Structures are given as C-alpha cells and as structure tokens.
Amino acid sequence: MTRLFQETHQSQSSTSTPFILESALKRNGWQPRMPLLDAEVALEGKPAFTYLLRPSDIGRGFAIAFVQRNGHVKHDYFRLINPKYGIFINGLPSHVGQLEKVVRDMMHCEMHEGAPL
C-alpha cells in the first residue's frame, strides 16, 4: 500500500459514521410499543404525510402508519436488508435505500414532504 492510499483510507474511515438503527428509527417517529389501532388514533386529523414507525405485527421488520393525501391513515411494512449501511426495502425494487428514502417512497411523496409524529 502506498502512503497516499493509507492516508486517504484513514481519513475516510475516521469521517464515516457507522449506521445506528436505533438512532435512525428515533429520528423517524419510532413508537416501539404502539399497536396498529393506537397509531391510527394518534395520526387522526394530522397533516398529510405525517407518519410514525413501529414494530411490524406480521413478522420481522417494521411498520409505518401515515396520513395519505386524502386524510386516511395507511399502513405499510418494510425491513432492514443491510444493517452495516442502513439499507431498507419495502418490497418494490424501487423502494430500496436509506430509511428516509424508503419512508417517502411508501408515502408517495417528495423528500422535503412528510414529518414524523
């Protein structure tokens, strides 16, 4: 290894932040003990694209409850597929990426839209 490569590699390693699941979830409205019906009540009357995340009721992974454009609350499911880099998937090939992207994909909104409860 050349010295330049070593210095570059070391500087990249020291500036990269490891993915921490708990931190990503908390930034995105994580409600670890909230059942599905309580999520609907909590989101009732909130603006479009307000959302919360909770554990999935149907197995491994996570659930999102969010207010659609028409005001109705919708539920969807997703899972973590790469814990090292924080990559999630919702089932559709285009719904893969970091948590914030997958959340916006499921809500069918832009990255600047939406806010956690």
Question: 99 lies in a domain?
Answer: yes
Q: Which domain, by its residues, includes 66?
A: 19-116
Confidence (pLDDT) at 60: 81
On the question of pLDDT at 1 being above 70, the answer is no
Question: 3 lies in a domain?
Answer: no
- Which spans in the chain are helix H? 3-15, 21-27, 36-43, 99-107
Instruction: Write down the mean pLDDT value for the chain.
Output: 87
Total domains, the chain: 1
Question: 45 lies in a domain?
Answer: yes
Give the residue among 69, 21, 76, 26 at the shortest CA–CA distance from 49.
69
CATH code for the domain of 50: 3.30.505.10
Q: What percent of the chain has pLDDT over 70?
A: 86
Question: 85 lies in a domain?
Answer: yes
Residues 6+ apart with CB under 8 A from 60: 79
SS3 category, 30: strand
Question: 1 lies in a domain?
Answer: no
pLDDT band at 93 (very low <50, low <70, confident <90, very high): confident
